């Protein structure tokens, strides 16, 4: 087994499209054992069946050997719901990939700090929330956050931001909290490389490099639609054919394989877009990040994109 900087076992919290994608590249490419945990057993079942389909597709296309696919699948196990996060106590690294909600993430990191070994790396796949804030929750009761800066529990927290769809997108953004130790940072980087990814580094600013650039772009497109400057299709087509973007800003979310559509995959749900934009706006106070009214109303209406069948496009 190839070992990514001492990481042989990985816990993944959240079996949605991001968590599942991370489990997939970790088991197949980095060849680590993965324990998958989600508070919804139904989500875990959906995720595993998607993983089976992705592996079968790669085998059918001759991209991987059948034996490699089988071994990757065997490396993935599911955490017993009754045991929960405690089951990850022996993991070398845990990656959290739940929804963009600071309070939920804080709860998870505080539990992880209490339940995991002191050298377990605790990574978050957040797309916009401060890693420093999340790290401050990973301090067990009785430990001072300030007294052992860099060597505290918070020193093992790091941002590892994957992109959707994780099996395809080549990038991972690496973000250091104020508390992150150098060792954590270099082990996390090597793990991402072992997963087959290229790594860029961003400071812990709202949205990091990726979403601080992407979200105003998407939001501007929504506002142009709202103002009636152009139709939905022409806005997307302009970016696709004029700038060679693989998909237009309103469409980011439309693409899915027929194979995958039953799992309601989408690139970014409109609720996630709104949550990220709210974090950017609250974190900077800069009006360029203020979410458009149309986006807010779409989310009010629960028109979230591919995940529930309606967004800027209609989905099967």
309 is in an annotated binding site: no
When asked if residue 267 is in the footprint of ligand CAA (CB under 6 A), the reply is yes
How many Å apart are CA 34 and CA 76, to the nearest integer?
Answer: 5
What's the token pair of residue 214?
């992407």
Is residue 263 part of the annotated active site? The answer reads no
Q: Out of 19, 167, 206, 291, name the contact with ligand CAA by CB under 6 A.
A: 167
Question: Total residues contacting ligand CAA (rule CB under 6 A)?
Answer: 21
278 is in an annotated binding site: no
164 is in an annotated binding site: yes
Q: Out of 140, 150, 196, 246, name the contact with ligand CAA by CB under 6 A.
A: 246
Is residue 173 part of the annotated active site? The answer reads yes
Strands (E), the chain: 9-13, 33-37, 76-78, 93-96, 121-124, 157-162, 171-176, 198-202
Q: With respect to ligand CAA, which residue has the nearer C-beta, 163 or 281?
A: 163
Q: Out of 35, 136, 181, 211, name the contact with ligand CAA by CB under 6 A.
A: 211
* Contact predicate 305/266, CB 8 Å: yes
In this structure, the number of other CB atoms found within 10 A of the CB of residue 171 comes to 13
When asked if residue 255 is in the footprint of ligand CAA (CB under 6 A), the reply is yes
What's the token pair of residue 176?
């250091």
When asked if residue 59 is in the footprint of ligand CAA (CB under 6 A), the reply is no
Is residue 127 part of the annotated active site? The answer reads yes
For 214, which DSSP code? H
What's the token pair of residue 109?
């990191």
**Shortest CB 74 distance to ligand CAA, Å:** 20
When asked if residue 165 is in the footprint of ligand CAA (CB under 6 A), the reply is yes
Beta strand pairing status for 171-176 and 33-37?
unpaired
Question: Dihedrals φ, ψ of 70, to 5°?
Answer: -65, -45
When asked if residue 258 is in the footprint of ligand CAA (CB under 6 A), the reply is no
When asked if residue 169 is in the footprint of ligand CAA (CB under 6 A), the reply is yes
Is residue 101 part of the annotated active site? The answer reads no
234 is in an annotated binding site: no
For 313, which DSSP code? S
When asked if residue 251 is in the footprint of ligand CAA (CB under 6 A), the reply is no
- Residues placed in the known binding site for NAD(+): 14-19, 38, 100, 105, 127, 164, 307
Binding site for ligand CAA (CB under 6 A): 54, 61, 63, 127, 163-165, 167-169, 210-211, 246-247, 252, 255, 257, 260, 265, 267-268
């Amino acid at each position: 087994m190839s070992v990514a900087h001492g990481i042989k076992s990985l816990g993944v919290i959240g079996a949605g499209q991001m968590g599942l994608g991370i489990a997939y590249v970790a088991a197949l490419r980095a060849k680590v054992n993965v324990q998958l945990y989600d508070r919804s057993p139904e989500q875990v079942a959906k995720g595993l069946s998607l993983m089976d389909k992705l592996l079968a597709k790669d085998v059918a296309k001759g991209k991987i050997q059948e034996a490699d696919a089988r071994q990757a699948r065997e490396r993935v196990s599911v955490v017993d719901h009754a045991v929960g996060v405690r089951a990850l106590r022996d993991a070398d690294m845990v990656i959290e990939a739940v929804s963009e909600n600071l309070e939920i993430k804080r709860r998870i990191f505080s539990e992880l700090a209490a339940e995991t070994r002191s050298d377990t790396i605790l990574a978050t796949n957040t797309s916009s929330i401060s890693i420093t804030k999340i790290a401050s929750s990973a301090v067990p009761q009785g430990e001072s956050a300030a007294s052992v800066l860099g060597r505290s529990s918070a020193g093992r927290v790091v941002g590892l931001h994957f992109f959707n769809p994780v099996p395809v997108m080549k990038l991972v953004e690496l973000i250091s909290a104020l508390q992150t130790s150098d060792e954590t940072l270099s082990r996390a980087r090597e793990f991402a490389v072992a997963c087959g990814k290229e790594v860029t580094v961003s400071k812990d600013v709202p949205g990091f490099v990726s979403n601080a650039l992407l979200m105003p772009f998407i939001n501007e497109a929504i506002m142009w639609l709202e103002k009636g400057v152009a139709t939905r299709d022409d806005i997307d087509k302009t970016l696709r054919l004029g700038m060679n973007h693989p998909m237009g800003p309103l469409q980011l979310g439309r693409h899915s394989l027929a194979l995958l559509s039953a799992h309601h995959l989408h690139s970014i749900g409109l609720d996630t877009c709104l949550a990220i934009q709210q974090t950017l706006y609250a974190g900077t106070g800069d009006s360029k990040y203020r979410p458009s009214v149309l986006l807010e109303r779409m989310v009010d209406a629960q028109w979230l994109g591919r995940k529930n069948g309606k967004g800027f496009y209609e989905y099967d």
